[in-house]
């Protein structure tokens, strides 16, 4: 049985930052001697031409330019990338095109140009409006620049703006976390991403851990912040809140286990083959290696076919992040796995009050939502 993935998304990775944040485990590199904007755009275009062969019979539904710090690039470079994308893949008039941006003054000054180039959604990495917390996070912007960046984005005509905030920061208390949320909500941008700071492997914070709040304090921050956020926005995913029509279409495609292609250093892709197999791949991580090999088979850093007994877990890992849940039809459509294989697990989760069945739709209960990892463990393949 082949999958019903007739559309897909495009992720474009720009790997450089002015400074690597101590908590960041993404494929990002400080802007040094390997930085070459023109050469990198040329590499992206070569990569794009090769990827286009994999999606000839599919429809592009969203574009996300992430990093790193994509707003380091000029408007001309972004225009070249989008022009090539339109030539190779086709960009419809109503497609969502998101660009990640930092609030530093140099980048915020480009927002109007980005809007003119066709970007219609910004995701601004504010993280906090508290200068002390920003310094401890190693951010290069301060609160004044954060305020200014949001105002510039709104003045530039962006009607779709996401603000990224973090909580559970070193020495943070509930009042400070709620203050960040209230300040963000006052801008009425329509979308807020609210993440807990975690100490990921291969980061400076993991090697040299800062003083973190206790688990009880972090829980208090989360619940207090959610109460404030949901007065204005609806939670539609574990860490995402939006007004009507403001949900991130690109991220929803990930969470619905949709297909996507990735171009750029370290970019990942997921494609459903004609035979129903689901393959994942990723590009070379180092910018210099990627630029040398982009567009060639040698640009692939790795590739694997998702095993049949892992598909249920992979689907649930994404789908159960969404408040709206999933149906058995959607499960089978996206995985090509007969739903009868997971029905005993679903019955067990219903019995444990971790899932709720309403009509044909399975959703997490409040308990299942709060302990999502426990729910997901039920779908792990047996050793």
Q: Please give the average per-residue pLDDT across 123-140, as a whole number.
A: 95
Q: Using a pLDDT cut of 90, give the percent of the chain over it.
A: 86
The helix (H) or strand (E) run that includes residue 343 is helix 343-351
Structure confidence by residue, pLDDT tens digits, 287-333: 999 999 999 999 999 999 999 999 999 999 999 999 999 999 999 99
Q: State residue 3's pLDDT score.
A: 47
Q: What are the Cα distances from residue 340, in Å, to 27, 329, 330? A: 39, 11, 13
Lowest mean pLDDT among 122-131, 321-330, 368-377: 368-377
Lowest mean pLDDT among 42-56, 196-210, 338-352: 196-210
Q: State residue 108's pLDDT score.
A: 84
pLDDT of 4 > 80? The answer is: no
Q: Which residue reads 């592009």 in tokens?
A: 60
Structure confidence by residue, pLDDT tens digits, 221-255: 999 999 999 999 999 999 999 999 999 999 999 99
pLDDT of 383 > 70? The answer is: no
Integer Cα distance of 347 and 381 in angstroms = 17
| Mean pLDDT score across all residues of the chain | 94
Integer Cα distance of 196 and 189 in angstroms = 21
Sorted by where each starts, the structural domains of the chain and their CATH numbers stand as 7-254 (3.20.20.70), 322-377 (1.10.10.10)
Answering whether pTM is above 0.85, one says yes
């Amino acid at each position: 049985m082949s999958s019903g993935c007739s559309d897909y998304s495009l992720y474009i990775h720009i790997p450089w930052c002015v400074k690597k944040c101590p908590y960041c485990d993404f494929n990002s590199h400080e802007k040094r001697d390997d930085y070459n904007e023109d050469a990198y755009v040329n590499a992206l275009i070569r990569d794009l031409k090769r990827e286009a062969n994999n999606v000839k019979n599919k429809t592009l539904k969203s574009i996300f330019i992430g990093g790193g710090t994509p707003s380091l690039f000029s408007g001309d470079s972004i225009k070249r990338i989008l022009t090539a994308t339109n030539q190779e893949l086709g960009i419809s008039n109503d497609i969502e095109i998101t660009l990640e941006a930092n609030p530093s003054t140099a980048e915020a000054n480009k927002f109007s140009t980005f809007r003119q180039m066709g970007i219609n959604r910004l995701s601004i990495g504010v993280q906090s409006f508290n200068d002390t917390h920003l310094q401890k996070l190693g951010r290069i912007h301060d609160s004044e620049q954060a305020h200014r960046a949001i105002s510039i984005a709104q003045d530039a005509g962006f009607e779709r703006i996401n603000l990224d905030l973090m909580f559970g920061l070193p020495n943070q208390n509930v009042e400070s976390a709620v203050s960040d949320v209230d300040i963000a909500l006052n801008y009425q941008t329509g979308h807020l991403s609210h993440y807990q700071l975690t100490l990921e492997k291969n980061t400076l914070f993991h090697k040299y851990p800062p003083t973190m709040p206790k688990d009880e304090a972090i829980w208090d921050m989360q619940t207090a912040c959610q109460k404030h956020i949901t007065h204005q926005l609806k939670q539609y995913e574990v860490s995402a809140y939006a007004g009507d029509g403001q949900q991130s279409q690109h991220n929803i495609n990930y969470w619905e286990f949709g297909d996507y292609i990735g171009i750029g250093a370290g970019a990942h892709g997921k494609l459903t083959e004609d035979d129903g197999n689901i393959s994942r791949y990723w590009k070379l991580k180092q910018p210099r290696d990627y630029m040398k090999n982009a567009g060639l088979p040698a640009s692939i850093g790795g590739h694997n076919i998702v095993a049949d007994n892992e598909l249920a877990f992979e689907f649930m890992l994404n789908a159960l992040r969404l408040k709206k849940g999933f149906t058995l039809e959607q499960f089978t459509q996206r995985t090509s796995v007969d739903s009868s294989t997971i029905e005993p697990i679903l019955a067990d989760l219903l019995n444990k009050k971790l899932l709720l069945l309403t009509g044909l739709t399975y959703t997490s209960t409040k308990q299942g939502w709060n302990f999502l990892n426990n729910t997901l463990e039920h779908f792990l393949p047996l050793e």
